[in-house]
Amino acid sequence: MNEPVPERLPSPFATGLACRCPRCGEGPLFQGFLKPVQRCESCGLDLSFAAGTEGPAVFIILIVGFVIVGAAAVVEAMFHPPPFVHLLLWIPATIILSLLLLRPLKATMVALQYHHDAGEGRSDV
């Protein structure tokens, strides 16, 4: 992450949600579903720092859990369906929502990591 940084970086949230390079906002961040590219094809940023980013899982669990539990409570209060209906509704909804959120949240975490120059813990002793 020692490459020269442009004067004005694009928003980490805009580049994250678009799954684009955190420095230039143009090159794709991923090859495949979740594997980050080695270098941005547009500006050449080394993205090796992003390989181990698994932080979005916590946010996805909280967001999806809140949405699904809230929706299940509303459905239960309004319709009182049998338990198998809840299983048929909420298991696929949980999986689909989790997969939809995974890629943009991981890209946003990578962009925030780049913008704040965050890395592994270092001891200056």
CB atoms within 10 A of CB 54: 9
- The answer to whether the CB of 21 falls within 8 A of the CB of 43 is yes
Chain segment 51-77, per-residue pLDDT in tens: 766 788 999 999 999 999 999 999 999
Report if residue 2 sits inside a domain.
no
For residue 33 the two structure tokens come to: 């579903």
Residue 97: inside a domain: yes
Q: How far apart are CA 118 and CA 115, in angstroms?
A: 8
% of the chain residues with pLDDT over 90: 72
Whole-structure pTM value: 0.83
C-alpha 30/C-alpha 33 separation (Å) is: 7
Residue 123 lies in a domain: no
Residue range 110-123, pLDDT digits in tens: 999 899 888 766 66
- In a domain, residue 120? The reply is no
Q: Which two tokens stand for residue 36?
A: 């980050």
Contact (Cβ atoms closer than 8 angstroms) between residue 1 and residue 12: no
Residue 7 within a domain? no
Structural domain range at position 19: 12-115
pLDDT in tens, 5-52: 556 889 999 999 999 999 999 999 999 998 899 999 999 999 988 876
Domain count along the chain: 1
Residue 75 to residue 10: CA distance in whole angstroms: 41
